[in-house]
Structure 1
């Protein structure tokens, strides 16, 4: 996309309801930070969510790793989302045929579509996976991200895979509003996919298990992405969660303002 627009300008023009909600929230709250809360206990998840809530636009969960999951956890997450003004992103990474993911998304013990504003999927099974998820999520105003690129070393999400993923997204823009990726995916002025980027860190470059980190500036300014996703860098030290949340929020927003300045916005 050659013509630069601010988050607020993009929100006004965007055709996807979930994208509009997210862009409006980012502009309103002055944050492009998403925190990935990958913990296994309900109390810890809720505690971190409450602590990071004021600083984030999106709270990212892996609900199926919570040992003591119950519906009260979902209820409390929804209440925190309202209290702190953020969206919930269940990082489910669906990867099955359309009929199966339809049930995984809408039914079972998690009933993801009923509470998670955003979810995501691999495109390995083909386009049917998008249709299956759309049948459940679109009537609820939910949004889908496709995994176009991953931040782990040796990931196979590249080349033709990425190209085909983008092509699928273009055919389903009422539901697919963006990507998990490492760079901007828009190719024309009238295309506006959001890119949420994991693997962001201010202090380290890797974790010994294949994860590779880039700074907020590298992600937002150099690569033109929209949302930084940070995990252990924020809650790795429990007594510094709010301090680190503010630090990453400020770094992400400063990078966005620099990008605005570069484009004269």
Structure 2
């Protein structure tokens, strides 16, 4: 492999070559290989001058009133992206100019500021309370929600006769937190990778989503969305959940008959 040379050494090679010296003579003079001379003889050298980027705050496009409206929208988290925010407020200029405006005013615009992480568990004759948070889920948060949601719940048959099925998301299998789940007397099993059709709760989440937007509702704030999620979760009939959970055997047979390929579930 040809070694990577510094800019100064690349310039030396090009200087020698411009003087009319051959590759072998240049290589001996600079104590490098002939291949190195060949590679860097015609390489475009990037100067070390700092690149000047114009990040003007675009004050002529976005006056102080616009800044206040943007800050209010971000505070209430009523947008899904910086570009969507610009369109919702019907602001002029290009998307890039708006992003420069946010950067110049030190306004952080995450790609998806509206985000609720939800945990819930279902079983025959049982539906846990929902755990809803705006934090990114990790092993500790998941384990806390799991233990609180199951050990404090009233269920028949009791918890120690049930098996919890989980997929292979990283926080489900956190090695630090797994002993806490075992100490809580929760029997825990993992589904095979890429087997969402075996997980009954995926259908329950689909039912929740359908109820959440069945009348094309638009939720303006996080709080209204949170309340709607809880309301729709409580409205899911336990009989429907029981039928979905009891279909697990049929799911296994369907998966086996299709040799692990896509099933009707």
TM-score (norm 1): 0.24
Q: Which structure has the higher relative contact order (CA within 8 Å, separation 6+)?
A: 1
TM-score (norm 2): 0.24
